[in-house]
Structure 1
């Protein structure tokens, strides 16, 4: 019986995998582990105009051997501000609520429901209450966090390479900005030194000219006094 049920789960999950490859869930990618089709990993790209925009969130679904007659466990691995990390999430589509589970629901249905709940603020077991500012900060940090996760890099190589490229681009922009700032600072320093030299030269010439004028004035005064005295004597 266990073998038959496991075969049923495998067949169903393979069917769901083909379906999700043909018709992807918006903002979500998902693949099973090559070594265990009962464990799927997903990546959520933060939708536009939400606090998660720009973020990349890695999580996993762990299916029971009785799937599709029993629901999976749902986990979020990347810090996100909405769900606790590496904690079973209490959702209507998870194993916390087998009474509300519908065997007709597929992996696509589960991922769509998980994303929908992520964008809400309804509290549940495994959820967090954080500000939009915190969520945006975590969104900005999510790519680097995922890059340190070997499972993420192995299962989503395109996403990992995209993150590496973005990091290289940011580093290049920082280097260029730093070089421009240093160059501008150097040019300002050179201009300041040249300006100071010019001012000193102008000051020296002004002082010399003033001294010459004083000497000429003194000589003229002396000549005038001498002339006056000579006139009086005569």
Structure 2
């Protein structure tokens, strides 16, 4: 009976937290429990602007004990992010690694706010990794496509899935347009070169023809003058 009462307490508290987070969302964060198990929540963190995570969509999960809120949850990150190891329990002051620092008054919103805050820091802890900002930005750009391969992500966040697919479609279209414009530009350049070259050839042909005519005329004149001299000498 005691275990059942504890489980009822955890369920009631998590339902209350879900209503709270739905009404007053945490900035950059969205979270929802599994319909089949309210003790397992999945969240997404949208990388804040002016951070190495900007544009990234990071999926993770919270696993609550039956004794919640008297014991803290386990915290995991699923999407590669450059800050935390994936699918590994994270050692944070708000996770089950530190039950001594846990406060039963803390809610799911408090946990997710703390997670985001720690993500933006560089303090090392068990489950954290060190990577360059360049690596974090690369992972942020790849995060959406990575999440599409996760079944639970697709089921719990269909609106985010649609946005990711639309963004991917737009990027592909921009790439196709850029490639098409590049090819057209190359064709126009070649045509322009041919036109200019053809014009030069035409001008060179006209000039060459005129020069040939002048040479012929001069030749005839010289020949006529020579003949005139010969005839004059014969007459004399």
Q: Report the TM-score, using the length of structure 2 for normalisation.
A: 0.96
Structure 1 regions of 5+ residues with no counterpart? Answer: none
Shift of 1:198: 2.7
The reply to whether residue 119 of structure 1 matches residue 120 of structure 2 is yes
Counterparts in 2 of 1:146-185, with a 5 A limit?
146-185=147-186
The reply to whether residue 196 of structure 1 matches residue 173 of structure 2 is no
Shift of 1:5: 0.6
Correspondence for 2:21: 20
Correspondence for 1:131: 132
CA distance in 2 between counterparts of 1:167 and 1:47 reads 20
Query: 3-state SS of the aligned residue for 1:49?
Result: coil
Shift of 1:124: 0.4
CA distance in 2 between counterparts of 1:137 and 1:167 reads 15
Query: 3-state SS of the aligned residue for 1:104?
Result: coil
The reply to whether residue 80 of structure 1 matches residue 64 of structure 2 is no
CA displacement 1:65-95 (0-9 Å, x = unmatched): 1101110000000000100000000000000
Shift of 1:63: 0.3
CA distance in 1 between counterparts of 2:46 and 2:116 reads 10
Shift of 1:10: 0.4
CA distance in 2 between counterparts of 1:167 and 1:27 reads 21
CA distance in 2 between counterparts of 1:190 and 1:80 reads 48
CA displacement 1:191-227 (0-9 Å, x = unmatched): 2223333333333322222221111111001111122
CA distance in 2 between counterparts of 1:142 and 1:94 reads 24
Shift of 1:161: 0.6
Correspondence for 1:110: 111
Shift of 1:135: 0.8
Structure 2 regions of 5+ residues with no counterpart? Answer: none
CA distance in 2 between counterparts of 1:148 and 1:204 reads 66
Correspondence for 1:61: 62
Correspondence for 2:30: 29
The alignment covers a number of residue pairs equal to 234
Correspondence for 1:5: 6
The reply to whether residue 45 of structure 1 matches residue 28 of structure 2 is no
Query: 3-state SS of the aligned residue for 2:62?
Result: strand
CA distance in 1 between counterparts of 2:138 and 2:180 reads 27
CA distance in 2 between counterparts of 1:85 and 1:13 reads 25
Query: 3-state SS of the aligned residue for 2:45?
Result: strand
CA distance in 2 between counterparts of 1:107 and 1:183 reads 55
CA displacement 1:142-179 (0-9 Å, x = unmatched): 11111121211111111111111111111111111111
Question: Which stretch shifts more, 171-180 or 13-22?
Answer: 171-180
Q: CA RMSD in A?
A: 1.2
CA distance in 2 between counterparts of 1:50 and 1:200 reads 59
Question: Which stretch shifts more, 176-185 or 124-133?
Answer: 176-185
Query: 3-state SS of the aligned residue for 2:88?
Result: coil
